[in-house]
C-alpha cells in the first residue's frame, strides 16, 4: 500500500470523490486481498471491500492522524471482515441446524473452488479454512502484511499476549492440518 498525502486525505474528508478515488486506488488491492482471504469467496469479498471504503469515506473527517493511515485502514478492513465472517458463520450454522446440511468443510462451495484455482491460493485457502476468524486475521496480518506483534495488537485492538496466543493456535492448527495431508505434497 502506497503512502497517501495529507492533502489528499483532507480533500477526501471534505467529500472530494476524486481524492477519495486516489485513496481507493492505493489501498483497494490490500483491502480486497484481506477480504478475499478472510471471506474465501469473491461475492462476500466485494461486499466487505465496499463496506470498508464506505466506512472510511464517512469517517475520514474523524481521522486525526494519531495512527498511520495504513494502520487506520487495516483496522477498518480487518474489523469489517471479521464481523462479516462471524455473522456469515453464525447464519450458516443456524441454517445447517435447520436443514441438516453437510458441514461446509474447508472448501465449501463452487465459488470458493473457483477462487482457489491457482495452486498458491488453493493452498492458502485450505489452510485458512482450518482457522477461526480471529486466528485468520492475526496470521494474515503477520504472514502476508508482515506486521509485528505490536502493530497487530493496534490494528485489532487486542492485548499483545492475545496476539501471541492466536498466532500460536493458528500455527498449531496449520501444522496439524498439513500433517494430516490436508495440503497436498506439503510436508
Residues of this chain that bind another protein (CB under 8 A): 17, 20-21, 24, 28-33, 36, 45-46, 49-50, 53-54, 57-58, 119-121, 123-124, 127, 142-144, 148-149, 164, 167-168, 171-172, 174-175, 178-179, 183, 186-187
Nearer to another protein, 82 or 167 (CB): 167
CB of 17 to another protein, least distance (A): 7
Q: In the bound complex, what is the minimum distance in angstroms from residue 54's beta carbon to another protein?
A: 5
Select 32 or 92, whichever has its Cβ closest to another protein. Answer: 32
Task: Quote the Cα angle for 42-91-128, to 5°.
Answer: 50
Q: Collapse the DSSP code of 135 into the 3-class scheme (helix H, G, I; strand E, B; otherwise coil) and give the result.
A: helix
Selection from 117, 169, 110, 170 nearest residue 144 by Cα: 170
Q: How far is the CB of 169 from another protein (least distance, A)?
A: 9
CA-CA distance, 176 to 182, in Å (whole number)?
9
Amino acid at each position: 500500500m502506497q503512502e497517501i498525502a495529507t492533502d489528499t486525505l483532507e480533500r477526501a474528508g471534505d467529500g472530494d470523490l476524486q481524492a477519495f478515488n486516489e485513496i481507493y486506488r492505493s489501498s483497494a488491492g490490500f483491502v480486497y486481498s484481506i477480504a478475499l482471504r478472510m471471506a474465501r469467496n469473491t461475492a462476500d469479498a466485494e461486499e466487505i471491500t465496499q463496506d470498508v471504503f464506505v466506512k472510511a469515506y464517512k469517517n475520514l473527517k474523524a481521522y486525526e492522524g494519531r495512527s498511520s493511515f495504513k494502520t487506520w485502514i487495516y483496522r477498518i478492513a480487518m474489523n469489517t471482515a471479521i464481523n462479516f465472517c462471524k455473522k456469515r458463520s453464525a447464519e450458516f450454522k443456524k441454517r445447517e441446524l435447520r436443514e441438516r446440511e453437510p458441514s461446509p468443510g474447508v472448501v465449501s462451495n463452487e465459488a470458493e473452488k473457483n477462487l482457489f484455482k491457482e495452486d498458491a491460493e488453493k493452498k492458502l485457502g485450505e489452510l485458512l479454512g482450518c482457522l477461526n476468524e480471529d486466528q485468520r486475521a492475526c496470521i494474515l496480518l503477520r504472514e502476508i502484511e508482515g506486521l509485528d506483534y505490536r502493530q497487530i495488537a493496534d490494528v485489532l485492538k487486542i492485548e499483545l499476549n492475545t496476539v501471541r496466543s492466536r498466532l500460536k493456535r493458528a500455527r498449531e492448527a496449520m501444522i496439524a492440518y498439513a500433517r494430516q495431508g490436508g495440503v497436498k505434497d506439503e510436508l
